[in-house]
Structure formats: structure tokens, C-alpha cells
Amino acid sequence: MAFISPDDGYLTVLNLFGTETIEGQERLIEVMTGIINGADYPGWVSSTLHAGHDKFGTANYIQWRSIADLEARYAGEKFRHETVPLFNEISTSIRLLKSEVVYAQRQPELAGTEISTDRDDYTVIIVMEVDPQDQPTLTEAMVLPDEWILTVPGYRSHSILRGIDGTFVVNYAQWESKKLYDAFHELPEDERPADVCQARARARSVLKSRDANTYRVVHTRSAKP
């Protein structure tokens, strides 16, 4: 299992892979599970694989101790000459997003923001692209404490990740079910608190694009202590 926290100092890599069919998704899960089970790299902390729900694909939430450790992995012969060609073969789109967790909020009864197969979270991952000069504005709008959302049925947690290259911000959220998340997502603006609407408007004012998918965790593994 893995935990999301802005205090751990980890580099987080979100590997998002797209495919057009359920068979393609099953192949992605098979390959990614094998890679995770064989992971034994200096600085690697954990990998948690998610299967696409609304759209076919996978999301691998990977924690590293530092960007130097990740770059050493990327520079390896096996990664460049075997892993990358395999990724290109089995997916229709690939995004390798290097980021850091800057904010995490959750229901008070949760001891931490855990991502694992032991939970039944309906996970929402939203990638918001932005010009580098506007990333601070978007981040500030996203990290405001939201007391209201704690009262929304089905809400469990959300974590904000800032792209290392300055071009994106990610919202990683956990909900009880698709039905309850959809009810929240489709709620009219005039039924949300004024401060929440203001933060949402501020975020929209600098967005270049917004890409979302929903997932279920299907596999996880962590490095031995």
C-alpha cells in the first residue's frame, strides 16, 4: 500500500496510459503488474496501479525518493531499449508526469490518504494543463481548505500535485461511488458555496486544458523497508 502526503518529500510520477479497448486495458494491466512486481530500483518507494473506469487505460501512481533516482532509472539501457518500446506497443497514448504533492485533505476519520487494493475507492484523476507563469495561480486556487466538501455525500479525500516542469496541476480524488461523485460533479454552481465558486472560477481562468478519467486500484507494491 501507499500513502499520499505533502510531508513525505517524495517525487510522484503519474504514468497515464491510454488504449481503445478492454482487451488493450487488460494487456496494460498485465504488463504493468509484471513491471511493478519486478521493481527493485534505488530510490523507488512504491507503485500503485489503477484500471480505467470511464475511459480505457491505466494510471500508475509511483513514488520515488528523488528525481535523481528516477532519472537514473530512465537512463538505464533496459528502460530505454525494452520498456519504452513495449509501452509504445501496448498503448495509444502515454503521459509520464513528474510532480510533487502540495496539499492533501480527507475526511477526519481517515488516518491518512491511503491508496491500495484494500480499499474500494472510486478514484478520479484530473490533469489540468497551464502555462508555467499561471501554475502558482492554479495551485493556490486548488489548495484552499474546503470545509464544505467534507459534508458532500461520498467524498473521502483529494490531493493536489504540482508538476515539476510547471505545466500542470493534478487533482487525485477518492470517492465512495460513481453515483455520488457524478452528483457532486454535476451540481450547479449556484448550489455551491460562494468561496468554492470563486476558487473554481479562478482556476478556470488560467486553464489551458482539463483531462479526467476515473479508476479503481488493482495492484500495489512497496519497497521493503
Interaxial angle between packed helices 135-142 and 194-204, expressed in degrees from 0 to 180 and rounded to the nearest 10: 160
Over residues 31-57, mean pLDDT: 95
Residue 1 — pLDDT band, cuts 50, 70, 90? confident
Amino acid at 113: T
Q: What is the CATH topology of the domain spanning 2-222?
A: Alpha-Beta Plaits (3.30.70)
CA distances from 93 to 17, 20, 24, 74, 90 (A): 6, 10, 12, 18, 9
Write the pLDDT tens digit of every residue in 111-141: 899 999 999 999 999 999 999 999 999 999 9
CA distance 76 to 80: 6
**What value does the mean pLDDT take over residues 185-207?**
96
Q: Summarize pLDDT for 147-186 with one digit per residue, the tens.
A: 999 999 999 999 999 999 999 999 999 999 999 999 999 9
Q: How confident is the model at residue 199 (pLDDT cuts 50, 70, 90)?
A: very high
Q: What is the pLDDT of residue 77?
A: 87
